[in-house]
């Protein structure tokens, strides 16, 4: 595939390494909004967007306007996701957003929803903790938000989440910790006075996200529509 990388930070570089190793070419590296003009129709087979919350919407709109299939892993811009998905459908384009491209985390999402349903009627209190590197701009992590949505959807009392420890029985607490060089650790726990359960996913290296991105990229680039990681996993 001919690939455009939008964003050339930690993830852009990790994806470049995996993509080149798999025989793809990196035809454009977009480092700022002024470089976007290079991405004209048919310039690449796929654009991969990992930037920052303030930039994702403009980058993705540009790709969709120019009929370039695009996948995004940028977190912290979910308030504009529906608008991008609608725009993709209007343009008959190709788009996938995932808060986390690790296949292990996406299985964790399934397990999380299953466990939340089982726990719904029991006297356990759920909580989420995420740990990331100190350069991370958003908090809580996109992955923690996906986990929280998976729990609140089936819990009879919890209606929303807060980014702190919660003593309010209607609010799910997400605690965020920042420690140098941690690629991403997420824990969902359920506690009662007599027992507790914890499920943790630990990313040992950013390559786990980059490998997921390339698998999804190969699968999606010749399809049309708005897709999710569940679509990818169910089709593979
Ligand atoms: N979905 C997933 O699996 C993963 C998502 N992420 C998310 O990806 C995003 C990027 O993460 P990192 O690469 O670690 O961050 P980073 O800070 O190392 O890199 C971001 C890069 O984007 C560049 N950038 C900012 N605005 C831009 C624009 N308008 N056009 C082009 N480049 C622009 C910055 O200069 C920087 O080089 C974050 O939102 C992070 O949360 C990170 C890892 C995995
Ligand atoms: O910023 C990161 O590094 C990560 N961001 C994603 C998130 O916000 O969940 C995915 C992963 O945890 C790494």
Atom of ligand 2 nearest to the CA of 183: 3
How remote is the CA of residue 194 from the centroid of ligand 2, in Å? 33
* Structural tokens at position 63: 């790709």
Is 132 annotated as catalytic? yes
Q: What does residue 212 show for φ and ψ, rounded to 5 degrees?
A: -65, -40
Please, which pLDDT band fits residue 4 given cuts at 50, 70 and 90? very high
**Residue 144, number of CB atoms within 10 A of its CB:** 27
User: Within a 13 Å sphere around the CA of 41, how many CA atoms are in the beta-carbon half?
Assistant: 5
> Is ipTM > 0.85 here?
yes
Cβ neighbors of 183 (< 8 A, separation 6 or more) are: 132, 133, 203, 204, 205, 206, 208
- The CA 185 to ligand 2 mean position distance, Å, reads 9
Spell out the domain ranges in the chain.
Answer: 2-101+207-234, 103-202
**CATH superfamily to which 2-101+207-234 belongs:** NAD(P)-binding Rossmann-like Domain (3.40.50.720)
How far is residue 148's CA from residue 160's CA, in Å, rounded to a whole number?
8
- The pLDDT tens digits of the residues spanning 154-208 come to 888 898 999 999 999 899 999 999 999 999 999 999 999 999 999 999 999 999 9
Name every residue whose Cβ is closer than 8 Å to that of residue 212 and which is 6 or more positions away in sequence. Answer: 98, 100, 101, 102, 103, 106
d(CA 112, CA 151): 7
> What does the pLDDT look like over 126-161, one tens digit per residue?
999 999 999 999 999 999 999 999 999 988 889 899
- pTM for this prediction: 0.96
Q: Where does the chain show beta strands of DSSP type E?
A: 2-6, 25-30, 46-49, 70-72, 94-97, 125-132, 160-162, 171-178, 185-191, 196-202, 225-227
pLDDT in tens, 166-177: 999 899 999 999
Ligand 2 site, CB within 6 A: 75, 99-100, 132, 136, 141-143, 184
Confidence of residue 123 (pLDDT cuts 50, 70, 90): confident
Nearest 5°: the CA angle 9, 218, 27 is 50
Q: Is 10:206 a contact under the CB 8 Å cutoff?
A: yes
The DSSP letter of residue 137 is -
Q: Which of 5, 6, 7, 57 to mutate to test the pocket of ligand 1 (most atoms within 8 A of CB)?
A: 7
The ligand whose atoms approach the alpha carbon of 101 most closely is: 1
Give residue 94's pLDDT.
Answer: 98
Nearest residue (CA) to ligand 2, atom 4? 184
pLDDT band at 120; cut points 50, 70, 90 = confident
To the question of domain 103-202 being in CATH 3.30.1440.10, the answer is no
- Can you tell me the mean pLDDT for 27-31? 98
Q: What is the pLDDT of residue 155?
A: 85
Which DSSP symbol is given to 68? -
Q: Tens digit of pLDDT for each residue in 39-71?
A: 999 999 999 999 999 999 999 999 999 999 999
- In this predicted structure, what is the pLDDT of residue 154? 87
Average pLDDT for the chain: 96
């Amino acid at each position: 595939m001919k690939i455009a990388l939008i964003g050339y930070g930690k993830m852009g570089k990790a994806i470049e390494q995996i993509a080149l190793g798999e025989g793809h070419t990196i035809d454009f590296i977009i480092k700022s909004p002024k470089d976007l003009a290079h991405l004209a129709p048919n310039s690449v087979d796929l654009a991969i967007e990992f930037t920052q919350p303030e930039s994702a919407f403009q980058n993705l709109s540009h790709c969709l306007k120019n009929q370039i299939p695009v996948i995004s892993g940028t977190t912290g811009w979910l308030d504009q996701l529906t608008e991008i998905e609608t725009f993709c459908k209007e343009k008959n384009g190709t788009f996938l957003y995932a808060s986390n491209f690790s296949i292990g985390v996406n299985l964790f999402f399934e397990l999380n929803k299953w466990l939340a349903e089982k726990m719904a009627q029991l006297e356990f209190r759920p909580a989420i903790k995420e740990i990331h590197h100190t350069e991370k701009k958003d908090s809580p992590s996109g992955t923690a938000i996906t986990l929280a949505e998976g729990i609140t959807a089936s819990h009879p009392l919890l209606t929303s989440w807060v980014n702190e420890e919660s003593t309010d029985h209607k609010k799910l607490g997400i605690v965020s910790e920042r420690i140098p060089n941690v690629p991403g650790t997420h824990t969902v726990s359920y506690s009662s006075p007599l027992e507790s359960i914890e499920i943790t996913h630990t990313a040992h290296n950013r390559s786990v996200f980059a490998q997921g991105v390339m698998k999804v990229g190969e699968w999606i680039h010749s399809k049309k529509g708005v897709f999710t990681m569940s679509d990818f996993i169910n089709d593979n």
